[in-house]
Amino acid sequence: MLETFYYETDRNVRGTLVFVALVSVYTAFIVALFPSIEAAGVDIDQVVEAYPEAVRQAMGVQSMSTIEGFLATQIYTFIWVLLMGLYFAYRSAGLVADDVERDRMDLLLSLPISRSRLVLEKFASVLVPIVALNVGVGAVIYAVGFAIGESIDLLDMTMVHLLSIPYLLACAGIGLVLSTAVDRADVAQRVAIGIVFALYLVETIAASTDGFEPLQYVSPTHYYDPTAILLEESYAYGDTLVLLAVTALLVVAAQFVFQRRDI
């Protein structure tokens, strides 16, 4: 049981650890900059107010004068929502397509495992780096915040990372569907990045454009708002359920596509 899951997890352990370490170092550097911004004596919120509404919407900016607002803008809205979404879509897009392209899939399917289970276990292996990233980077951000004398609410920090897991899984689900539909991993990965980025732009533009507001609901980014979590202590559990449901549908779709493909 779960042989594919364990294999995929084991062969990516080193890469996951390096990835988490690099993101942790980068985020730690950003958090450490906050005292120098405070000491500059500039009313940064007034500067932010001068930004166009679309820019503020894209950056998730409400306030940067507090550590929570600073983290929401500089780390979570950009790194977590956009870059991590793109990364896990890219990573998942190679899960199946890479084995097909390299002629390893015939060997895998010769084992006593169904195609549906193979797809499910490969996708489940993505959960490991997602959890590792959230635990590792979350702990680093909280520790650096404490070291610079900033009190970050532990519950809010926990929730902003916990609720990001369904969002990242939804992005990964988009990559998984493409991975089962396309023979070449690089094509699936490029398309996955393009789709997730396009959905990010759709949500950003639609939310600030009259008449286009309904379009924002098609984007996973609409259902994960780190700014609301950190600044308003708003935990949108309903949105989390939507993301989990979308992820489940994407996995089922990937299984359906792969079962009917000729390898």
Q: What is the pLDDT of residues 116-173, one digit of tens each?
A: 999 999 999 999 999 999 999 999 999 999 999 888 889 999 999 999 999 999 999 9
Q: Give per-residue pLDDT as tens, 108-124.
A: 888 888 899 999 999 99
Segment 200-227 mean pLDDT: 84
Residue 54: predicted pLDDT = 54
On the question of pLDDT at 186 being above 80, the answer is yes
Neighbour count for residue 202 (Cβ, 10 Å): 18
Contacts of 119 (CB under 8 A, 6+ apart): 96, 176, 180, 251, 254, 255, 258
Distance between CA atoms of residues 173 and 249, nearest Å? 9
- Angle (nearest 5°) at CA 27 between 233 and 128: 80
Q: Where are the beta strands (DSSP E) in the chain?
A: none
Output the pLDDT for position 40.
60
Radius of gyration of the chain (CA): 20
State the Cα–Cα distance between residues 12 and 84, nearest whole angstrom.
17
CA nearest neighbour of 242 among 215, 217, 212: 217
User: Above pLDDT 90, what percent of the chain?
Assistant: 60
Higher pLDDT, 58 or 101: 101
Q: Is the pLDDT at 231 greater than 70, yes or no?
A: yes
Consecutive H or E run containing 185: helix 185-207
* Average pLDDT across the chain, whole number: 87
Task: Assess whether pLDDT exceeds 90 at residue 14.
Answer: yes
All residues at 6 or more sequence positions from 84 whose CB lies less than 8 Å from its CB, including other chains: 133, 164, 168, 171
Q: How far apart are CA 40 and CA 64, in angstroms?
A: 13
Is residue 23 predicted with pLDDT exceeding 60? yes
Decide which of 51 and 176 is more confident: 176
> pLDDT at position 96, please?
93
pLDDT digits 0-9 by tens, 42-99: 555 555 554 555 555 555 555 667 888 889 888 998 899 999 999 999 999 999 999 8
C-alpha pair distances (Å), 150 with each of 19, 82, 159, 204: 26, 26, 18, 30
pLDDT in tens, 240-249: 999 999 999 9
For residue 195, pLDDT over 70 is answered with yes
Rounded Cα gap, residues 121 and 250, in angstroms: 14
E strands of 123-165, at which residues? none
Domain residues for 189? 3-259
Domain count of the fold of the chain = 1
- pLDDT for 185 equals 92
Give the DSSP letter of residue 65: S
How many other β-carbons are positioned within 10 Å of the β-carbon of residue 53? 10
